[in-house]
Amino acid sequence: MNSQYNYPEILAWLEQRGKKDFGEKFHFVEQDITNITKLVAYFLNDGITTEKFGIDLTKGILLSGPVGCGKTTLMTLMKYVTKPNNKFYLKTCRDISFEFIKEGYEIIHRYSRGSYSQTEYKNYCFDDLGVEQNLKYFGNECNVMAEIILSRYDLFVAKKIQTHITSNLSASEIEVAYGNRVRSRLRGMLNLIAFDKNTGDKR
C-alpha cells in the first residue's frame, strides 16, 4: 500500500515556505531529505510512510545532530504540515531554565503536568536540550529538564501526551548529563531521528 501523500511535492512546497520565513538562501540539502521526509510523515500522521521508517506515531521525536544542522529550523517548519492533533509548542530549554531562576519549581509543574484538567495538557518541543545548566533556586540545585522529562514520561504513559526534543547531544552524552533514568525514559517515549555528526553547519 502506498501513501496518499506526494513527498517530493510537499518538500518542494515546504522549502519555499522556508525561503519566506528564513531568507532566500534557505534550502534543503540532499543528504537531509530522508530525515526531513520522516519528520513530515510523522506530523502528517502518515501511518504507511512512518511504518516504513520504523517510526511509532504514538511517541514523540528526538531530533539530534551537530550544531547548525537545522534542527530548530525544521521543527519550526513542521507547523505548516502538522495535523491539529499533533500541534505542539516550541520552547527552548535555556528559556525554561531562566524561568526556573525567576519562578522556581512551579516551572517544572508548568511544562510537565500543566493543569490538572486534561484539556490543558500540551505537546511541547523542548529545543536545544543540553545547553542549559543545573540551576539554583534559593540555594537548591535542580536539573530542571531532567525533572520535566521524567514527569512528561509519566504523562505520556498515562495520557499519550507527546514530547519532542532537539539536541546536539548523543544518547551517551544525554546519559552523562541527565542520568540513566532519563535516557531510558527518552528511549521509551521518543523516536530518534539523527543527523550525521559530519553534517556541516548550515548557518
7 burial via Cβ count (<10 Å: 0-12, 13-18, 19+): middle
β-pairing verdict for 140-142 and 135-137: antiparallel
CA distance 177 to 180: 9
101-153 pLDDT, tens per residue?
888 888 888 898 654 444 568 899 999 998 766 554 444 556 889 999 999 99
Distance CA 176, CA 192 (A): 18
SS3 42: helix
Give the 3-state secondary structure of residue 60. strand
Q: In which element (H, E) is residue 121 found? A: none
* Cα–Cα–Cα angle for 144, 146, 149, rounded to 5 degrees: 110
What's the CATH code, domain 56-194?
3.40.50.300
Where do the domains of the chain lie? 56-194
pLDDT tens per residue across all 203 residues of the chain: 778 999 999 999 999 999 999 999 999 999 999 999 999 999 999 999 999 999 999 999 999 998 878 899 999 999 999 988 889 999 999 899 888 888 888 888 889 865 444 456 889 999 999 876 655 444 455 688 999 999 999 999 998 999 999 999 988 888 888 889 999 999 999 999 998 776 555 55
Neighbouring residues of 184: CB distance < 8 A, sequence distance ≥ 6? none
